[in-house]
Amino acid sequence: MKRFLAIVAFLQVVLPGMVKADEGMWLPALIEKLNITQMKKEGCSLNAEDIYSINHSSLKDAVVALDRGSCTAELISDEGLLLTNHHCGFDEIQEHSSVDHDYLRDGFWARTKEEELPNPRKSASFLISFEDVSEKILPQLNEQMSRDERSKKFRELASAIEKEAAGDTHYEARVQSLYDENKYYLFVYETFRDIRLVGAPPQSMGKFGGDTDNWMWPRHTDDFSMFRIYCGKDGKPAKYSIDNVPYKPKYHLSISLKGYQKNDFAMVMGYPGSTNRYKTSFGIEYTMKITNPIRIQVRQEKLRIINEFMKTSQKAKIMYASKYYGSSNYFKYSIGQNKGLENLGVLEKKKQLEDQFTKWVNADQQRKAKYGEALNLISSAYKELNDETAYEYMSEAMLRGPEIFNFAYQTHPLYDILKSDKKSEQVNLASQRVKDGLDEFFKDYDPATDQKISAALFRLYQENVAPQYHPPFFRIVKTKYGNDFEKYTKELYAKSIFGSQDRLIHFFEEPRARILEKDPIFQLALEIFRMRSLISDETSKTTEALAKGNHLFVGGLMEMESDKTFYPDANSSMRLTYGTVGDYIPRDGVKYSYFTTLQGYIEKEIPGDDEFDVPAKLKKLYQAKDYGRYADADGTLHTCFTTNNDITGGNSGSPVMNGKGELIGIAFDGNWEAMSGDLAFENDIQKCINVDIRFVLWTIDKMAGAQNLIDEMTIAN
């Protein structure tokens, strides 16, 4: 319900000409109309056409969405070389790692293109064009439609527009709603699927500081990795083939070694995932009291169990490194977000805005008739929380907790076919879909660890969720096993064919429905997903009322402040933000500098520690002050710096550019004091944390000796 309908809202800013440069995720195609004048005043020397153009090469052609927007990357050579964050390439680095070739621990550098490593599931998408198609959609939608009717009609219209836009090309077209379904835009993309790993520093650099430093400043993390786009010989996207060639981009970024000074202009382009800055006080309270506490509680237990396993061997550490990072990232984020929301008084500010809105509505009968029920609809949707609590625990403890039940559920289509006496070809096809993933799944899977996670998280679910939302197997655990989830899950994993890869391989040699009917893990997976559907049905009962309330509230706010400029919330489409380099004061008596140096990296060293170990070669280069041409004018090697650009998840890996459009850094994090930023931007303390491009180049050159990569780049001294 609420989580599915988090408002696609937009952030109010002051009048044009007085726009605060650090706030706003702007659509690049609209900066000529909305932003370029202010950007030039702040220090940008580019024209709007230099940044976004559909007729000529521009900055937009050097920025790609990785994996459909999970991260951003930028082109830095005319041979398709991509630069992004280390954590954006973490999965691929981990997948290619083994005890004999531990690229997480030791780093990886391809000295030739033949050594670059393929990644079948990785993609890079370019924005080709952008178009406002509101007039093709809005006239055929009306307020009398139900949500289902409106959604069906929109999908019908959007499909026709997308089909026409793509035509007979290989492009992908996507219509997305912005401004809470008040506007609709068509985005056309070109997606490449042969993306090869080129280079990555060791984890001791790329993830320096680990969980301790995550979301914190000051930082010294060398958070980057490198990939290359390959294509067919015709320059078009193609599946991986040894015959593919490096992609020749329309545009690639030049790199500046000049650095930056305080108050220098800084611009970020990327694909931010989502923000919900017009979420009401009711939604904020739900996030603080339900969503975040449950996520923190469940993930803390899961991370504890995974960490115990990772300590047992180098192989175990490699196996679960990516899973641990993925879970811990938003575990800590949730802690920081709650603290930020409380410390910055966001809930009270939301209530004040809602009071202002209510007074404005009640001052006019026509407004009252149109918008009067908005906040009542929203507040009523948050009153009954048993189903909401159940949904949050279901998501965290059952679906994102143990891995085996999601995997087992993939055999459900096969089970249906086996029961219906379908032809053997259909059985073989359904079997193959699961068999194809066996090696990949079991390569990084430990049944004993997953069993411990199941036992611990099932117990948390039982203790915190209303009984009507307990899956049926909970009764068996209580009556037959004395409520001992550890004993129950050990037996479960021992008896199931899903308990080992060998058992599954044997099953697929002659798959039969009755084997799955008797399999305890398969049957439990069915129970979990049935309960998820039941809970989803409960939470969806107020969906239409909540959606209507959100729509009216945001629409009313726009009318109430009609003399102000609004921009859409993030939704994984390309955005531009602009601001300045600068320091900040997080609390009384504390002031942070806007940059860090390699000296701070050395000062944080804890020899042998997973988070703060320092490579011997780095220490040697530091002691010799061997920084080459990458030293700042002050003689030090800068590692990271802060700007006030407006970013969020999905911006990881985004290029940070100076006023000339030259690359000066890579965005990789936000600051702890402003973790509330996805819900409410704080101008005074919200910071974008970036790795200095000179630290990146120094690592490639001095640490790795990968001169072949340096030679590809266009570097401005």
- Amino acid 352: pLDDT: 97
Clarify whether residues 300 and 444 are in a common domain: yes
Query: Where would I find the beta strands (DSSP E) of 78-209?
Result: 81-84, 108-109, 117-118, 124-132, 172-178, 183-192, 194-200
The least confident of 14-28, 282-296, 508-522 is 14-28
103 within domain boundaries? yes
Active site annotation includes 711: no
Clarify whether residues 329 and 232 are in a common domain: no
Q: Do residues 52 and 33 touch, judged by C-beta distance below 8 A?
A: no
Encode pLDDT of 224-263 as tens digits.
Answer: 999 999 999 999 999 999 999 999 999 999 999 999 999 9
Chain centroid, CA 21 distance in Å? 24
Rounded Cα gap, residues 182 and 175, in angstroms = 13
Clarify whether residues 635 and 496 are in a common domain: no
Which is it for the CA torsion 665, 668, 673, 676, positive or negative? Answer: positive
Three-state SS for 317? Answer: helix
Clarify whether residues 238 and 326 are in a common domain: no
Q: What is the total count of domains within the chain?
A: 3
| Continuous segment of H or E residues that includes residue 667 | strand 663-670
Burial letters 161-179, b for 16+ CB under 10 A, else e? bbeebeeeeebbbbbbbbb
Active site annotation includes 387: no
Chain centroid, CA 435 distance in Å? 29
- Amino acid 2: pLDDT: 38
390 within domain boundaries? yes
Q: Do residues 206 and 653 touch, judged by C-beta distance below 8 A?
A: no
Tell me the pairing of strands 71-75 and 63-66: antiparallel
536 within domain boundaries? yes
Of 231, 252, 273, the residue that ends a domain is 252
Clarify whether residues 245 and 307 are in a common domain: no
560 within domain boundaries? no
The least confident of 3-17, 112-126, 351-365 is 3-17
Clarify whether residues 643 and 698 are in a common domain: yes
Q: Tell me phi and psi for residue 145, to 5 degrees.
A: -70, 145
Chain centroid, CA 129 distance in Å? 23
Clarify whether residues 139 and 172 are in a common domain: yes
Of 506, 541, 576, the residue that ends a domain is 541
Rounded Cα gap, residues 392 and 397, in angstroms = 8
Q: Tell me phi and psi for residue 199, to 5 degrees.
A: -165, 155
Clarify whether residues 47 and 88 are in a common domain: yes
- Amino acid 502: pLDDT: 94
15 within domain boundaries? no
| Continuous segment of H or E residues that includes residue 227 | strand 225-231
Range of the domain at 397: 281-541
Q: What would the mean pLDDT of 115-142 be, rounded to a whole number?
A: 96
Question: Catalytic residue among 50, 77, 87, 97, which?
Answer: 87
16 within domain boundaries? no
Q: Tell me the two tokens of residue 25.
A: 């995720």
At 23, the pLDDT band (50, 70, 90 cuts) reads: confident
Q: What would the mean pLDDT of 347-374 be, rounded to a whole number?
A: 96
327 within domain boundaries? yes
If we measure between CA atoms, which residue out of 64, 65, 87, 89 comes closest to residue 76?
A: 64
Q: What would the mean pLDDT of 642-654 be, rounded to a whole number?
A: 96
383 within domain boundaries? yes
As beta bridge partners, residue 132 has 185
pTM for this predicted structure: 0.92
Helix ranges (H only) for 496-647 are: 501-509, 513-518, 520-539, 543-560, 598-603, 616-623
- Amino acid 60: pLDDT: 98
Active site annotation includes 87: yes
Question: Catalytic residue among 652, 654, 678, 692, which?
Answer: 652
Q: Tell me the two tokens of residue 686.
A: 């919200």
**Higher pLDDT residue, 386 or 4?**
386
Question: Catalytic residue among 102, 180, 222, 223, which?
Answer: 223
Tell me the pairing of strands 590-592 and 655-657: unpaired
Tell me the pairing of strands 715-716 and 255-256: parallel
Three-state SS for 349? Answer: helix
At 637, the pLDDT band (50, 70, 90 cuts) reads: very high
